[in-house]
């Protein structure tokens, strides 16, 4: 990878993050798309990219592998060893100590298909937040998503991110994207509005993490057998 900062594999008691390897993980990612195509709806990726493992690998090589501001991890369930998705860092700005958690693809997601999926939900994001603040020494971690993707915004806010606003016409979409987007008179390429959420260091970080841990404590109390 060409990522500007050092990375590593990470793990807690629920999930394991492994630095993305195209040879090993592209087939898993492509298979996941075949089973859960709806997870890719808002990524702004043309359908042609997902037509085969080869086209997905080519897209990954150009879009992530060779980019110094982007990197990706494959996510695995610790208990079962199952591949559950991927997550990455994008738009990394080292001088200004900011980065963005992106390419967040997770089986089950907010639909909560199984109890196990719900139990592991967003654990990989928590791991990545700790890595960004404690080891990469970031001051700000962003979460950007399609303004119409309520599930993604809700997930970010549950993790402690705060909505800052909506960026109108934030991105031009290539033709053939599943999400469609909006069009402007006289222009062929559609676009989308993007929601911007942030998680900051120092006070903001402590507050965000305390909320996460408070929810975890409440959940454990509910499940406690007396």
Q: What is the C-alpha to C-alpha distance for residues 192 and 145, in angstroms, rounded to an integer?
A: 10
The whole-number pLDDT of residue 107 equals 62
How large is the average pLDDT for residues 140-146?
93
- Cα 140 off chain centre by: 16
Which of these, 55, 14, 17, lies nearest to 33 by C-alpha position?
A: 55
pLDDT at 1: 67
80, 130, 129: which is closest to 104 by C-alpha? 129
Beta pairing partners, 102: 88
Q: What is the distance in angstroms between the CA of the first residue and the CA of the last residue of the chain? A: 50
Q: Where are the domains of the chain?
A: 10-223
Alpha-carbon torsion (71, 216, 107, 165), positive or negative = negative
Task: Report how far residue 45's alpha carbon sits from residue 131's, in angstroms, rounded to the nearest whole number.
Answer: 27
Give 188 or 222, the one with higher predicted confidence.
188
Query: Looking at domain 10-223, which CATH architecture does it have?
Result: 3-Layer(aba) Sandwich (3.40)
Residue 134: pLDDT over 90 = yes
Q: Which residues of 42-55 are buried (b: 16+ CB within 10 A; e: fewer)?
A: bbbbeeebbeeeee
Question: What is the per-residue pLDDT across 148-193, written as a single tens digit (0 to 9) for each?
Answer: 888 889 989 989 999 999 988 877 777 666 666 777 787 777 788 8
């Amino acid at each position: 990878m060409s990522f500007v900062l050092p990375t590593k594999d990470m793990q807690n008691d629920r999930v394991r993050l492994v630095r993305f390897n195209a040879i090993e993980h592209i087939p898993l990612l492509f298979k996941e798309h075949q089973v859960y195509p709806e997870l890719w709806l808002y990524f702004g990726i043309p359908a042609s990219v997902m037509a085969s493992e080869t086209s997905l690998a080519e897209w990954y090589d150009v879009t992530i592998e060779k980019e110094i501001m982007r990197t990706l991890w494959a996510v695995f369930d610790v208990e079962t060893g199952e591949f559950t998705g991927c997550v990455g860092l994008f738009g990394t700005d080292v001088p200004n100590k900011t980065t963005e958690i992106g390419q967040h693809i997770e089986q089950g997601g907010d639909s909560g298909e199984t109890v196990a999926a719900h139990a592991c939900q967003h654990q990989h994001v928590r791991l990545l937040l700790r890595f960004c603040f404690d080891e990469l020494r970031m001051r700000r971690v962003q979460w950007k998503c399609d303004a119409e993707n309520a599930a993604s915004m809700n997930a970010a806010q549950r993790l402690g991110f705060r909505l800052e606003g909506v960026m109108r016409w934030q991105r031009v979409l290539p033709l053939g994207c599943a999400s469609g987007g909006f069009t402007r008179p006289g222009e062929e390429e559609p676009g989308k509005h993007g929601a911007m959420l942030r998680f900051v260091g120092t006070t903001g970080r402590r507050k965000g993490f305390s909320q996460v841990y408070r929810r975890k404590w409440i959940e454990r109390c509910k499940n406690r057998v007396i």
